[in-house]
Amino acid sequence: MTFNHNDLGQANGNFFALPRKEKDDEGIEIISVPWDATTSYRPGTSKAPQAVLAASLQVDIFDSDVEKAWEMKISNTELDLCGLNSKCRHFAEKIIQHLENGGSTTDMEIADMLNFVNRSSETVNSTVYENAKKILSGNKTAAVLGGDHSTPFGLIKAVAEKYPKTGILHIDAHADLRGAFEGFTYSHASIMYNVMTEIEGIEKLVQVGVRDFCEAERDFAGADNRICMYADSCLKENRFAGKTWKEQCDEIISHLPEHVYISFDVDGLSPYLCPNTGTPVPGGLDFAEAMYLIKQTAFSGRIIAGFDLNEVSPGISGDWDANVGARILFKLCCYAWYSNKYHINKNQ
């Protein structure tokens, strides 16, 4: 069947029903990571890759900012983690329950389970890292579709190795700066703590929309001058005082170096856009606000060197979360593609 970008998408196993061009050495490769082993509140994000893929057929592959977006080359690698994820999830539930009942992570049976979950998380990190490294050895941009927010660790490591002065634009309701949350070293709630303490080459971490964090996280952010936190309450109060969203975006972007990695936790958005996500919090960015921030980042001449979308959870009733997720993924792909293409053309 010939591809027509004006037609309704036909399921072909690829995001947005774009034609599959596996052998291309350009465009974007999405590593799907169906992993939610350490989700603390409610699981489900491991089902996101399949649900977002299905919902992506409904997205019109036209973009008013990015010309001929349908010419984007997107490929997809889905990691097979189903068995390992179920086993770890089962253990994680027992561990969390044990801790909630006043138990300790050093209690024998719990310590063994915790050890297994932590070792499995390391396996996921190294698998994502190896895949990302292979993708980044060519001209492609690599992305991760989670899964929970622990999933992009390996990708961020590979991007920071290739571009040693990478800045992270982190959209999230949470600061994710806790060390080993609930005993899980690679917890979804610890991703930025792990990134900032274990990965070399991160020049900046700019957090946007954060509204649920503890004192230790605030202190951790305050003690590291690479971290800028734009709490949701400050963004809103600035707005109430008359500062426009454009002015705020300009300021946020001004902290970012040339190479930008975007880590997009869907719960950074207002919960009506992600009602089934693992840890929803009132407040947050609207869809247009978040997309504008990413667009301005790409159009500032910076290069989107990699990105992830995580914590999308399809839920049992309906596909609204996946629909929103597919539209965020499309915009992330468009702007990443635009920023890389623009940069290549400029240097030719």
Residues 174-213 that bind Mn ion (CB under 5 A): 174, 176
d(CA 172, CA 291): 14
With respect to Mn ion, which residue has the nearer C-beta, 149 or 302?
Answer: 149
Q: Taking the complex as a whole, how short is the minimal distance between the CB of residue 255 and Mn ion, in angstroms?
A: 19
Do the Cβ atoms of 332 and 262 come closer than 8 Å? yes
With respect to Mn ion, which residue has the nearer C-beta, 9 or 278?
Answer: 278
Considering only 12-20, 97-105, 212-220, 262-270, which stretch makes contact with Mn ion by CB under 5 A?
A: 262-270
With contacts defined by CB under 5 A, how many residues of the chain interact with Mn ion? 5
Cα Rg of the chain (Å, integer):
19
Of all residues in the chain, what percent are helix, strand and coil, respectively (each to 5)? 50, 15, 35
Considering only 48-56, 124-132, 146-154, 320-328, which stretch makes contact with Mn ion by CB under 5 A?
A: 146-154
Q: Taking the complex as a whole, how short is the minimal distance between the CB of residue 335 and Mn ion, in angstroms?
A: 20
Considering only 62-70, 141-149, 223-231, 234-242, which stretch makes contact with Mn ion by CB under 5 A?
A: 141-149
Q: Taking the complex as a whole, how short is the minimal distance between the CB of residue 44 and Mn ion, in angstroms?
A: 15
Give whole-number Cα distances, 338 to 40, 62, 80, 195, 305, in Å.
Answer: 36, 13, 30, 26, 11
Considering only 36-44, 110-118, 246-254, 261-269, which stretch makes contact with Mn ion by CB under 5 A?
A: 261-269
Q: Is the peptide bond before 147 cis (omega within 30 degrees of 0)?
A: yes
With respect to Mn ion, which residue has the nearer C-beta, 172 or 289?
Answer: 172
Best CA proximity match to 264, nearest among 157, 145, 165: 145
Residues 152-181 that bind Mn ion (CB under 5 A): 172, 174, 176
Best CA proximity match to 79, nearest among 40, 43, 129, 137: 129
Q: Taking the complex as a whole, how short is the minimal distance between the CB of residue 54 and Mn ion, in angstroms?
A: 24
Considering only 4-12, 143-151, 230-238, 292-300, which stretch makes contact with Mn ion by CB under 5 A?
A: 143-151
- Decide: is 265 part of the binding site for Mn ion (CB under 5 A): yes
DSSP codes, 79-139: ---HHHHHHHHHHHHHHHHHHHTT--TTSHHHHHHHHHHHHHHHHHHHHHHHHHHHHHTTT
With respect to Mn ion, which residue has the nearer C-beta, 29 or 176?
Answer: 176
Q: Taking the complex as a whole, how short is the minimal distance between the CB of residue 345 and Mn ion, in angstroms?
A: 34
Q: Taking the complex as a whole, how short is the minimal distance between the CB of residue 89 and Mn ion, in angstroms?
A: 18
Instruction: Candidates 47, 98, 149, 295: give the one binding Mn ion (CB under 5 A).
Output: 149
Give one word for 96, left, alpha or beta, with left for phi > 0 and alpha for psi -120 to 50: alpha
Considering only 46-54, 92-100, 260-268, 291-299, which stretch makes contact with Mn ion by CB under 5 A?
A: 260-268
Q: Taking the complex as a whole, how short is the minimal distance between the CB of residue 164 and Mn ion, in angstroms?
A: 24
- Decide: is 148 part of the binding site for Mn ion (CB under 5 A): no
With respect to Mn ion, which residue has the nearer C-beta, 29 or 265?
Answer: 265
Angle formed by the axes of helices 320-346 and 48-55, to 10°? Answer: 80
d(CA 40, CA 279): 8
Q: Taking the complex as a whole, how short is the minimal distance between the CB of residue 36 and Mn ion, in angstroms?
A: 12
Best CA proximity match to 234, nearest among 251, 268, 205, 211: 211
d(CA 73, CA 59): 16
Residues that bind Mn ion in the complex, under the rule CB under 5 A: 149, 172, 174, 176, 265
